[in-house]
Chains A and B, each alone.
Chain A
Amino acid sequence: METIFSRFHLIIVQDPDLKGELKIPEGFNLNLYTKSDIDKVVGSSSNAISFSGYSCRYFGYLMSRKKYIISIDDDCIPAKNSNGEPIDAISQHIINLTTPATPFFFNTLYDPFCEGADFVRGYPFSLRSGVECGLSCGLWLNLADYDAPTESLKPDLKNSRYVDAVLTVPARTMLPVSGINISFNNELVGPALLPAFRLAKEGKVRWETVEDIWTGMCVKVVCDHLRLGVESGLPYVWRQERGNAVESLKKEWEGVKLMEDVVPFFQSVRLSESAVTAEDCVVEIASSVKEHLGPLNPTFAHSAETMVEWIKLWKRVRAN
Chain B
Amino acid sequence: MSKPATPVAPPLKDELDIVIPTIRNLDFLEMWRPFFQPYHLIIVQDGDPTKTINVPEGFDYELYNRNDINRILGPKASCISFKDSACRCFGFLVSKKKYIFTIDDDCFLESEFGLGSVICMSVNCRDEFSLFAGRGGAGVSFGDLGVNGPREYAKKKFFVYVAKDPSGKEINALAQHIQNLLTPSTPFFFNTLYDPYRDGADFVRGYPFSMREGAPTAVSHGLWLNIPDYDAPTQLVKPLERNTRYVDAVLTIPKGTLFPMCGMNLAFDRELIGPAMYFGLMGDGQPIGRYDDMWAGWCTKVITDHLGLGVKTGLPYIWHSKASNPFVNLKKEYKGIYWQEDIIPFFQSVTLPKESTTVQKCYIELSKMVKEKLGPIDPYFTKLADAMVTWIDAWEEINSPAQSAPAADAKKDGPSSKKK
Contact = CB atoms under 8 A, between A and B. Distances in A.
A110 B208 CA distance: 26
Interface residues of A, number: 59
Given A119-B234, A122-B294, A162-B115, A157 B200 contact: yes
Ranked 4 nearest A-B pairs via Cβ: A122-B260, A176-B206, A213-B206, A175-B190
A163 B254 contact: no
A10 B231 CA distance: 45
Interface string B222-243: 0100001111001000100111
B396 to A, nearest CB: 29
Given A144-B193, A146-B202, A159-B200, A263 B211 contact: yes
B247 A165 contact: yes
A213 B204 CA distance: 11
B205 A125 contact: no
A37 interface: no
Interface of A: 82, 105-110, 116-127, 137, 139, 144-147, 149-150, 154, 157-165, 169-178, 206-207, 210, 213, 216, 232, 256, 259-260, 262-263, 267
Given A116-B245, A125-B341, A174 B190 contact: yes
6 contacts: A123-B260, A145-B192, A147-B204, A159-B201, A171-B257, A177-B206
Contact of B223 (A82, A109, A125, A157): A109
Nearest to A213: B206
B291 interface: yes
A176 B193 CA distance: 10
B190 A154 contact: no
Contacts of A175: 189-192
A157 B200 CA distance: 6
B66 interface: no
Contacts of A206: 205
Nearest to B221: A108
B162 interface: no
B223 A116 contact: no
B291 A120 contact: no
A175 B297 CA distance: 24
A110 B194 CA distance: 13
B341 A126 contact: yes
Interface of B: 114-116, 189-194, 200-211, 221, 223, 228-231, 234, 238, 241-249, 253-262, 290-291, 293-294, 297, 313, 333, 337, 340-341, 344
Contact of A163 (B202, B205, B247, B258): B247
A176 B256 contact: no
Contacts of B191: 175-176
Contacts of B247: 110, 163-165
B192 A164 contact: no
A74 to B, nearest CB: 18
Given A109-B243, A121-B260, A122-B260, A82 B116 contact: yes
Q: Which of A106, A139, A178, A216 has the most CB of B within 10 A?
A: A106
Contact of B244 (A110, A116, A162, A178): A116
A163 B243 CA distance: 15
Contact of B256 (A123, A162, A170): A170
Contacts of A144: 193, 201-202, 204
Contact of B192 (A105, A121, A139, A259): A139
B192 A232 contact: yes
B195 to A, nearest CB: 10
Nearest to A167: B251
Given A124-B344, A145-B205, 17 more contacts: A105-B260, A116-B241, A116-B243, A118-B234, A118-B238, A122-B294, A124-B341, A125-B337, A146-B204, A150-B203, A169-B254, A170-B254, A173-B255, A216-B206, A259-B206, A263-B208, A263-B211
Contacts of A150: 202-203, 205
Contact of A106 (B211, B243, B259): B259
Contacts of A262: 208
Contacts of A176: 189-192, 204-207
Contacts of A110: 247
Contacts of A267: 189
Contacts of A157: 200, 202
Contact of A263 (B189, B221, B246, B291): B189
Nearest to B244: A116
A3 B122 CA distance: 45
Contacts of A213: 205-206
Nearest to A106: B259
B117 to A, nearest CB: 9
A110 B253 CA distance: 12
